[in-house]
């Protein structure tokens, strides 16, 4: 659903990680949420309101990645629209809001779309990142 850029650990850090990971006692793992809690939160996120104009904005952002662009080989598909919709609602919920705002959409858009577009060879040769290309595309889409 989302792309998170995580850099690799140093050699020494990785050695420490494998030592710690192999010593974990699963009997000591503490439950922080019950199954019912997870279903309740999921329902509360589902109930977060998103205005029809913002639904259109999400689709416009995704469709803008499909327009001819020298920096892209291909844009995002419909699943990106679905995931951006869901992630925007979840972000709003975490913010303690009962509705989605454009800022919630943009807050998650780069992570949702970063792995769903393919940069062109020219963009890669110029050293452009997915985020830079997405920002340029997003800046052209009118915020409702």
Note the pLDDT tens digit of each residue in 66-125. 999 999 999 999 999 999 999 999 999 999 999 999 999 999 999 999 889 899 999 999
What crossing angle do the helices spanning 35-46 and 78-94 adopt, rounded to 10°? 110
What is the model's pLDDT at position 46?
95
pLDDT tier for residue 48 given thresholds of 50, 70 and 90: very high
Lowest mean pLDDT among 5-14, 42-51, 130-139: 5-14
Can you list the domains of the chain with their CATH numbers?
Answer: 49-138 (1.10.8.80)
Judged on CB neighbours under 10 Å (0-12, 13-18, 19+), 101 is middle
Residue 116 CA to residue 81 CA, distance in Å, equals: 11
pLDDT tier for residue 1 given thresholds of 50, 70 and 90: low
């Amino acid at each position: 659903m989302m792309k998170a850029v995580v850099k690799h650990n140093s050699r020494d850090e990785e050695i420490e990680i494998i030592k710690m990971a192999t010593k974990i006692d699963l009997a000591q793992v503490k439950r922080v949420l019950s199954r019912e809690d997870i279903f309740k939160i999921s329902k509360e996120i589902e109930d977060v309101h998103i205005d029809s104009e913002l639904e259109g904005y999400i689709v416009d952002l995704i469709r803008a990645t499909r327009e001819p662009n020298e920096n892209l080989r291909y844009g995002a598909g419909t699943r990106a629209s679905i995931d951006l919709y869901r992630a925007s609602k979840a972000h709003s919920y975490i913010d303690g809001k009962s509705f989605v705002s454009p800022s919630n959409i943009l807050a998650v858009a780069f992570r949702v779309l970063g792995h769903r577009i393919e940069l062109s060879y020219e963009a890669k040769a110029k050293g452009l990142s997915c985020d830079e290309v997405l920002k340029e595309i997003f800046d052209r889409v009118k915020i409702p």
